[in-house]
């Protein structure tokens, strides 16, 4: 009885089509996955340059963020929950309310992001912020 031996042959050029199919599928996979990794962040509608808008005091809610990250309204410290309650009650009476946030340049960045997130969750469309002017330090 004779045993048959089977020799392996090298890849034929025609068989490399499967590699190009695989490469094509990988390219499609990465293109599709790239769409899902887009981070939108905070989308803020900015006014036109030079445009001004007069806001009645009754429709304005002002708050300040100090250098230590403390939140203040009319000079008195308030908690985030108090700010939410104030905004919700004003929003019921004045749906077109504007939230004005004055920010100290030394405010921790994360604290600012937290306040902006609260404003977005409350669905306040008119949101404005400005930097507080730095006061010169007295010479010691």
Cα 5 from Cα 34, distance rounded (Å) = 49
pLDDT class of 1 with cuts at 50, 70, 90 = low
pTM of the model: 0.58
Q: What value does the mean pLDDT take over residues 27-32?
A: 88
Judge contact between 48 and 56, C-beta under 8 A.
no
pLDDT higher than 70, residue 140: no
- Domains of the chain (ranges; CATH) run 57-131 (3.30.420.270)
**Mean pLDDT, the chain, integer:** 80
pLDDT of res. 52 = 76
Per-residue tokens: 131: 């930097």
pLDDT higher than 50, residue 34: yes
pLDDT of res. 39 = 62
pLDDT higher than 80, residue 105: yes
Of 33-37, 43-47, 87-91, 120-124, the range with the lowest mean pLDDT is: 43-47
- The dihedral over CA atoms of 81, 83, 88, 90, expressed in degrees to the nearest 10, equals 150
């Amino acid at each position: 009885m004779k045993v048959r031996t089977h020799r392996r042959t090298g890849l034929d050029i025609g068989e490399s089509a499967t590699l190009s199919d695989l490469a094509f599928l990988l390219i499609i996979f990465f293109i599709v996955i790239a769409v899902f990794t887009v981070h939108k962040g905070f989308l803020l509608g900015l006014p036109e340059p030079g445009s001004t808008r007069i806001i009645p005091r009754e429709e304005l809610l002002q708050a300040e963020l100090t250098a230590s990250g403390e939140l203040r309204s009319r000079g008195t410290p308030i908690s985030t929950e108090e700010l939410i309650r104030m905004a919700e009650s004003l929003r019921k009476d004045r749906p077109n309310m504007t939230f004005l946030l004055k920010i100290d340049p030394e405010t921790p960045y994360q604290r600012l992001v937290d306040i902006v997130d609260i404003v977005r969750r409350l669905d306040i469309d008119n949101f404005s912020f400005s930097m507080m002017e730095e006061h010169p330090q007295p010479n010691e």
